[in-house]
Chains A and B, each alone.
Chain A
């Protein structure tokens, strides 16, 4: 299945790739006022957003993003490899994710106190976390013994857990 670059507005590149699970959209760059979501083709009912490459998102981009999500309210969304910038907005802005969405995975920054290095570790649904529902509270099970890629010392999560994992709790 081929990939196409559909928007390169100077701040954000979006490539679309068709796959058996649906249309996979890879985002890379900054979601700001330059993002032109309306030009992105979104075929099919199932969309997978790979957001690992989103370095920055601001309110000017959020407005366009939320309006775009609303235009596609008949589709289902899977959010994959959400960067910290995206997770922060999921936590701050209720409504950032459409109701028909599922967060499959997201990155958690880890820091090494020994050498100052660090790494983004991917938390996957069903493994390192499970989202809360009306019947069950959410769960976060960080990997044990995350090692620094540079010096092999043990790394610590570089987030305030109660804030960063807030979106995993059930929201009515």
Chain B
């Protein structure tokens, strides 16, 4: 199973401004020469030594994740990252009007929808676009997007055939050699995470969530979303301090995901849905704070004779591909 991240920002796309990009380039160039480099052949090694947030950064497109196996490909959410995914798909059957796309929706906040009108395969006659959600409003929400004056092409004039599918909460659904099950997340409007299973491996997509239900008793029938997972994508929009200030804003912090992972045996986590107001430096600082928190927790756990399993984790960058 492969998981590719086409968009990892939350709330609003956050492209790097021209002045910030120029400042970053200047900073890198100064650093390059300050280290005594003079030759273009040294560029790759130099860049490899620079932390990611000072190079390409974490990315500015909003939520879009692709889950694939050799036999199946599912997309989670249609944030602005869907545009580039669509461009890639146009290189295959979708470009010939013989393709299909399957998009699961966690919920209908704008950052998880705005890529759909710019998903080129949806305009190509002959393509089959399948859209899925637990919530009943999917068709209404999508048709509203393709309505004047919000978008010049009305839904009825889309080239592809669009199919709407309703998912049963907490009931596994098969798709090729993948099985996925929706579980409820904690967000101001109904939002569903997905647990994917393939060949004995599990991936859980847990965005957007504030994770207000944390104990096994509180999670109840949604606990399996977190149990024994090989890879979890979790909401890390805020720092731990921000989360205590933004109650009911619908998002979590990386340390919360880590503590869930420790308790539930999750092996690896990627944190996404980065705040649009957070610069790459700020996200890197949140990553540093998370590292400090985790190290302190591990030390305390060992001293207290409690389990201190290691969990592999990172803050997600747009373009990352992870094998599960």
Binding site for B on A (CB under 8 A): 30, 32-34, 55-60, 62-63, 66-67, 70, 84-85, 88-89, 91-95, 109
Contact = CB atoms under 8 A, between A and B. Distances in A.
B300 A84 contact: yes
Contact of B306 (A56, A63, A95): A56
A20 to B, nearest CB: 33
Interface in B218-270: 240-241, 243-244, 247, 253, 255-256, 258-260, 262
Contacts, number: 71
A85 to B, nearest CB: 4
Interface stretch (B152-160, B276-284, B290-298): B290-298
Contacts of B299: 84, 88
Nearest to B304: A55
B215 interface: yes
Contacts of A89: 293, 296
A59 B255 contact: yes
Nearest to A89: B296
A48 B301 CA distance: 25
Contacts of B296: 85, 88-89, 91-92
Given A56-B304, A56-B306, A88-B299, A62 B215 contact: no
A93 B240 contact: yes
B300 A88 contact: yes
B140 interface: no
Contacts of B303: 55, 84-85, 109
A60 B244 contact: no
Nearest to B256: A59
16 contacts: A34-B215, A55-B306, A58-B255, A59-B253, A59-B259, A59-B293, A60-B259, A62-B240, A62-B255, A66-B244, A88-B297, A88-B300, A89-B296, A91-B292, A93-B289, A109-B303
Nearest to B293: A92
Candidate in A30, A33, A85 with the most chain B CB atoms within 10 angstroms: A33
Nearest to A33: B214
Contacts of A58: 255, 259, 262, 297
Interface in B42-61: none
Contacts of A91: 292, 296
A95 B244 contact: yes
Given A30-B304, A33-B259, A56-B306, 19 more contacts: A30-B306, A33-B215, A56-B297, A59-B253, A59-B258, A59-B259, A60-B256, A60-B259, A60-B260, A62-B240, A62-B244, A66-B244, A85-B300, A85-B304, A88-B297, A89-B296, A92-B289, A93-B241, A93-B293
A23 B300 CA distance: 27
A88 B289 CA distance: 12
A63 B243 contact: yes
Candidate in A56, A58, A60 with the most chain B CB atoms within 10 angstroms: A58
Candidate in B215, B240, B259 with the most chain A CB atoms within 10 angstroms: B240
Contacts of A66: 241, 244
B163 to A, nearest CB: 40
